[in-house]
């Protein structure tokens, strides 16, 4: 973008802002430097009162940061904005566990389709090579060996089962990190998953060995194998199918059990977190009632906005909005005088998540 076009765009933005934004009240337009300095002092003092009253000044160690903070701002014509950063903002359960639960739900549906419809095949370059070689022949022998190798190819392709093992391990580690599984339990779970991996690897080796035997015979065959050989191959394949199906079911059961534990823990932690947020809000409104006189410098037609960072209702994976409360000055002073209670003032506030 050249300079002329950039300046033209700047003019458009400024003009649009002038058309959209309402005119500031006279009181806001005429605030002097001294009045703004007094506003800054009042905000700093009130922020300090909130930090102390809410316990945000506590530190876990000499060089550790405070457990929370209050940062104040003034917007001319609108009022004071206090941003409250509390330890509850660091609630970690929702995003990580909901993401895990979502992954496990996807996994469950994949495993369900595996159990009912078989494994979805992916490209098998060895089978493609064999098929191309056999395609040079159009007789009964080629058709027989193609069917044999296609049946074994389905057994070798198990991405969802491998994903199930990985997801089960991640779920177990999540429970361990949240204190819901002790080191001994974690060791037992890891051993169980390792046993399942080894069993799966063994079945795959047996399947590949059978497939290699069939492939070698197919490349040299001038006739169909004997009934004895065909029966041996069929029995070996059927046995592998039963064993692999049992492994799928066992892995699916393990993943489902861990998912259920994670879901129960998520519900419990979320309920406790919501209770803590409600209690924190009650304390905030009580402090506002007790010390609202410290905000007398706020113009009568402006408001106090509280922004509780990250304490809104969960909207989606990985994102938690802020909780906003907007209060009029008259309600603040009425609560400070005792004409309103903290909960009455709270009910009169404009509250939303954003």
Please choose, from the candidates 252, 327, 239, the residue with its C-alpha nearest in 3D space to the C-alpha of residue 288. Answer: 327
The pLDDT of residue 219 is 78
pLDDT in tens, 4-27: 444 444 444 333 333 344 444 545
**Residue 7 in tokens:** 């300046």
Rounded to whole angstroms, the Cα distance separating 308 from 85 reads 6
pLDDT of residue 29: 58
CA dihedral 245, 251, 256, 262 (to 10 degrees): -170
Report which of residues 136 and 33 the model is more confident about: 33
294 versus 23: which is more confidently predicted?
A: 294
Contact (CB, 8 A) for 297 and 325? no
Asked whether the predicted pLDDT for residue 37 surpasses 90, the reply is yes
pLDDT greater at residue 343 or residue 104: 343
For tokens 């917007």, the residue is 75
Which pLDDT belongs to residue 26?
Answer: 46
Global pTM reads: 0.65
Instruction: Give the pairing of strands 323-328 and 350-353.
Output: antiparallel
The pLDDT score that the predictor gives to residue 18 is 35
Report pLDDT for 116.
40
Q: How confident is the model at residue 118 (pLDDT cuts 50, 70, 90)?
A: very low
Task: Looking at mean pLDDT, say which of 10-19, 35-44, 266-275 comes out highest.
Answer: 35-44
In three-state secondary structure terms, 321 is coil
pLDDT of 298 strictly over 80: yes
Query: Comparing 43-47, 195-199, 281-285, which segment has the lowest mean pLDDT?
Result: 195-199
Region 61-89: what's the mean pLDDT? 85
Query: What is d(CA 193, CA 185) in angstroms, rounded to the nearest whole number?
Result: 12
Indicate whether 30 pLDDT > 90: no
Helix (H) or strand (E) holding 307: strand 303-308
Asked if 255 and 103 touch (Cβ cutoff 8 Å), the reply is no
Q: How large is the average pLDDT for residues 145-172?
A: 80
Q: What is the mean pLDDT of residues 310-314?
A: 85
């Amino acid at each position: 973008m050249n300079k002329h076009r950039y300046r033209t765009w700047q003019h458009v933005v400024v003009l649009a802002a002038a058309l959209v934004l309402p005119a500031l009240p006279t009181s806001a337009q005429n605030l002097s430097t001294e009045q703004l300095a007094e506003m800054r002092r009042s905000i700093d003092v009130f922020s300090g009162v909130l930090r102390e009253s809410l316990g945000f000044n506590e530190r876990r160690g000499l060089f550790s940061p405070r457990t929370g903070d209050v940062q104040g701002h003034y917007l001319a014509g609108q009022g004071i904005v206090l941003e409250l950063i509390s330890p509850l903002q660091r609630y970690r359960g929702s995003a990580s566990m909901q993401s895990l639960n979502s992954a496990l739900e996807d996994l469950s549906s994949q495993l369900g389709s595996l159990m009912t419809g078989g494994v979805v095949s992916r490209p098998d370059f060895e089978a493609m090579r064999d098929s191309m070689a056999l395609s040079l022949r159009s007789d009964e022998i080629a058709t027989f060996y193609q069917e044999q190798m296609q049946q074994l190819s389905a057994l070798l392709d198990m991405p969802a089962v491998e994903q199930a093992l990985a997801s089960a391990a991640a779920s177990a580690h999540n429970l361990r990190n949240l204190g819901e599984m002790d080191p001994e339990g974690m060791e037992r779970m890891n051993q169980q998953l390792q046993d399942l991996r080894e069993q799966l690897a063994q079945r795959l080796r047996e399947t590949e060995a059978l497939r290699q035997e069939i492939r070698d015979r197919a490349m040299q065959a001038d006739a169909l194998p004997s009934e004895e050989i065909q029966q041996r191959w069929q029995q070996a394949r059927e046995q592998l199918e039963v064993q692999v199906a049992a492994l799928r079911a066992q892995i699916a059961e393990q993943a489902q059990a861990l998912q259920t534990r994670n879901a129960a823990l998520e519900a419990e932690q979320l309920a406790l977190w919501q209770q803590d947020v409600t209690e924190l809000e009650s304390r905030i409104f009580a402090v506002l009632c007790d010390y609202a006189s410290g905000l007398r410098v706020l113009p009568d037609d402006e408001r106090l906005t509280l922004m509780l960072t990250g304490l809104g209702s969960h909207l989606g994976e990985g994102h938690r909005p802020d909780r906003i409360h907007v209060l009029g000055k008259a309600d603040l002073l009425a609560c400070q005088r005792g004409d309103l209670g903290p909960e009455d003032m709270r009910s009169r506030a404009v509250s939303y998540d954003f």
